[in-house]
Amino acid sequence: MRLRTPDWLLARPIAHRGLHDAERPENSVAAYDAAIAAGYPIELDVHLGSGGELVVFHDRELARMTGAEGWVDRVPWSTLSGLRLGGSDEAIPTLQQVLARVAGRVPVVVELKPSERASALCRAVLDALVDYRGAIAIQSFDPRLLARLRAASWRGPLGVLASDFADQDMGKTRKLVLRNLLLAPASLPSYIGYQLRCLPHPAATLARRLGCAIVAWTIRTEAELARAAELADNVIFEEIRP
């Protein structure tokens, strides 16, 4: 079973971590403002902070984007809020700050990063979204997180993310389960987000035949965009303007 894919999810390509470039760091308010100005839906990443904050940041380690040491889910918000992204003046935002900034002007796709406090993460996200009136979807590589949200009465669109997980440090059985979407049905997903280099994949092909949309990620060239047009229903992109 699945829930219907909303029209907005397939209407326009989705900007990966905002419309970022050398001057606008990924997952920054500036990158989100640029996506809004161009009319692109925004994809962003969320970790549960040590104090329960919903921190918008991709990596678990802070070093690449801030030069600081530590993990984003272990460093207190009082420290995180003082860091700057990619040598810019842009601060790390919270999900609530981003949603207030977007204010429904473009759709938002929230990727939940794996957490050792899954229940707390799901509760915090549901609380943050309860009064939001813009178009929004939630996706994750962890289908168990999505199943928790569905069990907690979230009726918005959910997306299961997958790849071959070749570069991930996990057991063979877990890789097999995840790349073949064996846990996906529990969350009643509205779409599957599959890594383009792994397509076509039998599990994604079957899901599409059953009416579940496929969103290919991450598209960085015109050649990849053309390939995705044959294999998927929409894309998550960066470095180009589709």
- Among the listed residues 61, 87, 64, the one whose alpha carbon sits nearest the alpha carbon of residue 75: 61
pLDDT for 12 equals 99
Q: Is 193 left (phi over 0), alpha (psi -120 to 50) or beta?
A: beta
Per-residue pLDDT tens over the stretch 72-95:
999 999 999 999 999 999 999 999
**E-assigned strand segments in the chain:** 14-16, 42-48, 54-56, 108-112, 136-140, 158-162, 191-195, 213-219, 234-237
Neighbouring CB atoms inside 10 A of 50's CB total: 17
Q: Which amino acid is at 214?
A: I
Given CATH 3.20.20.190, say whether it is the number of domain 7-237.
Answer: yes
Q: Radius of gyration over alpha carbons of the chain, in Å?
A: 17
How far is the C-alpha of 181 from the C-alpha of 236, rounded, in Å? 19
- Among the listed residues 221, 220, 193, the one whose alpha carbon sits nearest the alpha carbon of residue 207: 193
* pLDDT, average across residues 14-32: 98
Asked if pLDDT for residue 237 goes beyond 60, the answer is yes
Q: Determine contact, residues 68/84, Cβ cutoff 8 Å.
A: no
pLDDT for 224 equals 99
* pLDDT, average across residues 209-222: 97
pLDDT for 167 equals 86
Kindly list the domain boundaries of the chain, sorted by start residue.
7-237
Per-residue pLDDT tens over the stretch 164-215:
998 889 999 999 999 999 999 999 999 999 999 999 999 999 999 999 999 9
Identify the band that residue 2 occupies on the pLDDT scale cut at 50, 70 and 90: low
Asked if pLDDT for residue 1 goes beyond 60, the answer is no
Give, as one character, the DSSP assignment of residue 182. T
1-15, 118-132, 134-148, 169-183 — which is least confidently predicted?
1-15
> What percent of the chain shows pLDDT beyond 70?
99
More confident residue, 4 or 22: 22
Identify the band that residue 153 occupies on the pLDDT scale cut at 50, 70 and 90: confident
Quote the tokens at residue 224.
């990849």
* pLDDT, average across residues 158-162: 98
Whole-prediction pTM value?
Answer: 0.97
* pLDDT, average across residues 125-150: 97
Contacting residues for 55 by C-beta, under 8 A, at least 6 apart = 46, 47, 48, 49, 72, 73, 77, 80, 92, 94, 95
Quote the tokens at residue 137.
């979807």
